[in-house]
Amino acid sequence: MTRIAVIGGTGYAGRHIVAEAVSRGHTVVSIARSVPSERVEGASYIEGNILDVPDLVHQLEGVEVVVAAVPARGDMLGKVRPALEELFAALPEDVRVGVIGGAGGSLVAPGGPRLVDTEGFTEDYKPEALEAIGVLEDLQSGTSGRDWFYIHPAGGFGMWAPGERTGSYRDGGDVLVTDADGESFISGPDLAVAVLDEIESPQHSRERFTVGY
């Protein structure tokens, strides 16, 4: 089994990834700024902060895959991109990294445009979306041999629309996944299924991809 660390492991996406990874028998470390009172049985919890990269690298010693599920919102806006760039540069090169981005960087159709550039995209969410896209751009332009993957969830992803675990999803490549009615959604548990499927059976080496129903 794989030793996996989830940075932001107590957040909406992170806690589902932790739970799914534990259920599949992996060794899982959840890292967040505080340790929650409710924990996933079988996971280890560590206090850590992506803004303190030297300490975080020490805490990640021996980990094979690092998944970053830290949204650039609130007091983290403007800080996530440089912190992740520093962290990924400091990790051993054989550590695979995964990033949970946002829907904003997905293309609405083959060849574009990006969802964030469309008229209906909410202005309040643009700074967070653009920073998440910046993280992807840093990965794409990197010159190291590190393997990575980057996931864009569906547009309707979040704690306000939790949904259930079905164990299934669709991979849209670069394009936002929508259903027959044009709706874009994926539950927290099924996003986690997609993440663990990619960890266990890599299909997107140094690539981004979208997931939804």
Strand segments (E) across 13-104? 27-32, 44-47, 65-68, 96-100
Residue 152, domain extent: 3-212
The predicted-structure confidence for 65-117, as pLDDT tens digits, reads as follows 999 999 999 999 999 999 999 999 999 999 999 999 999 999 999 998 999 99
Which CATH number belongs to the domain containing residue 56 in this structure? 3.40.50.720
The predicted-structure confidence for 157-205, as pLDDT tens digits, reads as follows 999 888 999 999 999 999 999 999 999 999 999 999 999 999 999 999 9
**Is the CA virtual torsion 10, 15, 18, 23 positive or negative?**
positive
- Domains in the chain: how many in total? 1
Instruction: Read off the tokens for 51.
Output: 């803004």
Instruction: Kindly report the pTM of this predicted structure.
Output: 0.96
